[in-house]
Amino acid sequence: MRTEPPGGTKAAAARKPEAESARKAAEIAKPIHILGAGLSGLSTATILAKAGREVHVHEIRSDSGARFDGDFQGIENWTSGVDFFDEMREWGFDPEEFKSDAFDVIDLVHPDDEITQPRTSGVAFRVVERGTAEHCIDQGFKRMALDAGAEIHYGTRKEPEDCHIVAAGPKETSAVAYGEIFHTDHPNHVTFQLNDKLAPGAYSYLIIIDGIGLISTCLWRQQKKTSRYLNETIAWYEQHYDLNRRPIKRVGGKGDFGLPTRYIHEGRYYVGEAGGLQDCMWGFGMRYAITSGVLAAKSILGECDYEVEVRGRLLPLVRTSAINRFLMNRVGDRGFKMVANHWMRDQEKKGDGIAFMRWLYNPGLGRRVLWPLVRLGMLRRKQLKDGRTVHRLPFRKSLARDVWEPSARAEEIGAQWDAIRRGGGKTSFGESDA
């Protein structure tokens, strides 16, 4: 006959919750390591540190935003019906920690140089500066993470397999952007230009904030002598706007676009660019980066399932942008003109220019039907060193129409910059970086 020790079964049952509580307490006490002190990594760190977790962020560069050099970027406000800054406030972030400028209207330049103005009654997008200056968004998120209690280790190398969250930047190249920052007398302004010659497969833009301007061109096809695209783009904007341009420096960067099969791999959460969570059509990524960082933190805290949330909330947008990119790759200026005309007709009909952008990113039935074709026809399957499988957007080869001779004014602008560079003018991104 089996006999139980005094209080046997009941005591054992009582000890189970205690053991589980001890296990949970031990798990919570473990430090969390994040690779990358960009927007996605810092947003994750802030949420976790506010919840009382010990957080260490490891960044190989000397500071947050050091990857950039004072260039302007846009935070879109059309992929959700909720204003993104209101959403950030709900998560506990303070948009007043960094400088931003809201816009409700832009100049839209058609491929034939017609200029129209999409506008909205709300905020279409905001312009922020990237870099290490105090007012930059990167520094704002750095301050919020530090204030929350996170520790940031700059100039340190950490392997992804030793981290819980991977928030590293681009590794390969799917597209590049080149720009020039300059002094100007022109008031605050944004121009978005669709032109396959000046920006192969993409767009160029002009942003002016408080006397500082940025002219940039994006290249979604590989090119030789890529500086000619920037010089020609600057020449075009000088011809159409009274800029009184006085060059300061030239900047640039690259984007690596790919869709992984999983967003949690071997216990690691992949956020922002590391998780392929960005816009494959226009290159917008900050909203995706911050959102994914928040979702990863909430998942670790037991408030949601990161894999489920990303697939339900962000992946449809990313896939739709990839489908749009697939279609853009197959049109030139004629297709760009059709897009611009449709945009303006839609505004006239609905009275709101942002409605077209919302439609463009709506993962409807028609786009979902195209997805298998896009995945097979445009993306390339690749096995990464960390064991993940990703479908990457390759950097496309140039086309015959990309061969053209620069204008006389573009040649003068190139010579002007060469003289400035020899005199100490800074270039943060060269043709070889692509």
For the chain, give every domain's residue range. Answer: 32-172+256-403, 175-255+404-434
Structure tokens at 337: 């003109």
Among 51-55, 191-195, 222-226, 312-316, the minimum mean pLDDT is found in 222-226
* pLDDT on residue 336: 93
pTM here is: 0.92
What's the mean per-residue pLDDT of the chain?
92
For 207, the enclosing helix (H) or strand (E) is: strand 204-209
Cα dihedral 352, 354, 356, 358 sign: negative
Among 6-15, 153-162, 222-231, 416-425, the minimum mean pLDDT is found in 6-15
Asked if 219 and 176 count as a contact pair (C-beta separation under 8 A), the reply is yes
Confidence band, pLDDT 50/70/90 cuts, at residue 331: confident
* pLDDT on residue 206: 98
* pLDDT on residue 365: 85
Asked if 282 and 79 count as a contact pair (C-beta separation under 8 A), the reply is no
For 209, the enclosing helix (H) or strand (E) is: strand 204-209
- DSSP letter (8 states) at residue 160: G
Q: Is the confidence at residue 333, as pLDDT, over 70?
A: yes
Query: pLDDT of 64-104, one tens digit each?
Result: 999 998 899 999 999 988 999 999 999 999 999 999 999 99
Query: pLDDT of 132-159, one tens digit each?
Result: 999 999 999 999 999 999 999 999 999 9
Query: pLDDT of 157-210, one tens digit each?
Result: 999 999 999 999 778 899 999 999 999 999 999 999 999 999 999 999 999 999
- Rounded CA separation 309/300 (Å): 13
The torsion defined by the Cα of 407, 411, 414 and 418, in degrees rounded to 10, comes to: 180
- Rounded CA separation 142/270 (Å): 19
272 C-beta neighbours (distance < 10 Å), count: 29
Q: What is the DSSP string of 78-125?
A: -SSSS-HHHHHHHHT--GGGS-EEEESB-EEE-TTS-EE--B-SS--E
Closest of 176, 204, 175 to residue 190, by C-alpha = 204
Query: pLDDT of 252-276, one tens digit each?
Result: 988 889 999 999 999 999 999 999 9
Closest of 180, 249, 184 to residue 210, by C-alpha = 184
Q: How many residues does the chain have?
A: 434
Burial (CB count within 10 angstroms: exposed 0-12, middle 13-18, buried 19+), residue 355: middle
Asked if 115 and 194 count as a contact pair (C-beta separation under 8 A), the reply is no
Asked if 65 and 130 count as a contact pair (C-beta separation under 8 A), the reply is yes
* pLDDT on residue 22: 60
* pLDDT on residue 314: 96
Confidence band, pLDDT 50/70/90 cuts, at residue 9: low
Q: What is the DSSP string of 50-74?
A: HTT--EEEEESSSSTTTTS-S-EEE
* pLDDT on residue 427: 84
- Rounded CA separation 173/219 (Å): 11
Q: Kindly state the percentage of the chain with pLDDT values over 90.
A: 81
Q: Is the confidence at residue 26, as pLDDT, over 90?
A: no
Q: Is the confidence at residue 360, as pLDDT, over 80?
A: yes
Closest of 34, 38, 30, 49 to residue 145, by C-alpha = 49
- Rounded CA separation 159/156 (Å): 10
Helices (H) and strands (E) in the chain, counts: 12, 20
Structure tokens at 99: 């400088």
Burial (CB count within 10 angstroms: exposed 0-12, middle 13-18, buried 19+), residue 126: buried
Q: Is the confidence at residue 302, as pLDDT, over 80?
A: yes
- DSSP letter (8 states) at residue 329: T
Question: What single letter denotes the amino acid at residue 369?
Answer: V
Task: Give me the long-range contacts of 116-123 (CB less than 8 A, separation at least 24).
Answer: 116/340, 116/343, 116/344, 117/353, 118/343, 118/344, 118/347, 118/353, 118/354, 118/356, 119/347, 119/353, 120/352, 120/353, 120/354, 121/352, 122/77, 122/83, 122/354, 123/77, 123/83, 123/85
Domain 32-172+256-403, what fold? FAD/NAD(P)-binding domain (3.50.50)
Asked if 254 and 218 count as a contact pair (C-beta separation under 8 A), the reply is no
Confidence band, pLDDT 50/70/90 cuts, at residue 364: confident
CA distances from 157 to 104, 154, 248 (A): 42, 9, 32
Among 336-345, 347-356, 425-434, the minimum mean pLDDT is found in 425-434
Q: Is the confidence at residue 432, as pLDDT, over 90?
A: no
* pLDDT on residue 303: 97
Q: What is the DSSP string of 161-196?
A: GG-SEE-----S-SEEEEEEEEE--SPSEEEEE--T
